[in-house]
Amino acid sequence: MKIVFASTPSQEKEINGLVRYIYSNIFPLYFTDEEIFQFKQLKVLHTSEDFNTLKDAFQVMTSIQTLISILEATQLDDQYSLLFDKNVETLQEFGLLFPFKYEHFQEERCIKNHMLSIYSNADNELLI
């Protein structure tokens, strides 16, 4: 008999938060609003199902966090290409679509005027 622990709602909430972070902080750096809209339509990184086990949820969270760390680096280095590919593969094993290669995030693709994206977080928010 093998005992496994189911993923928790807080883990799934964290995964959804990481996905929102990619859409609002990473994608606007490299893609236009129209492209990001298409990603939403294609359900890129869409988590439709609960993860079966605690381990599954941790693997997904770790893979997304690793991708974020790589893509937020000051300069993308080719040494991270294999790590990027491995984490994309892990996400795909768990049914999350992430149809990008490391080359999609190279500096020459970087959109310099990303602040105008409708997907970016507002720099100033009204606090009540």
Name the pTM for this structure: 0.81
Q: Is residue 121 part of a domain?
A: no
pLDDT (tens, 9 = 90+) of the chain, 128 residues, equals 656 566 678 888 999 999 999 999 999 988 889 999 999 999 999 986 667 788 898 999 999 999 999 998 867 777 889 999 999 999 999 999 999 999 888 765 566 545 566 666 665 555 55
Domain assignment of residue 14, given as a range: 9-116
Whether 62 maps to a domain, the answer reads yes
Does any domain span residue 110?
A: yes
The structural domain count of the chain equals: 1
Question: Is 122 part of a structural domain of the chain?
Answer: no
Q: What is the pLDDT of residue 8?
A: 77
* CA distance readout (Å), 89 to 37, 96, 111, 124: 23, 9, 26, 36
Note whether residue 124 is domain-resident.
no
On whether residue 19 sits in a domain, the answer given is yes
Residues with Cβ within 8 Å of residue 33, at least 6 apart in sequence? 117, 118, 119
- Is residue 123 one of the residues assigned to a domain? no
Q: Is residue 78 part of a domain?
A: yes
In whole angstroms, what is the distance from residue 5 CA to residue 90 CA?
20
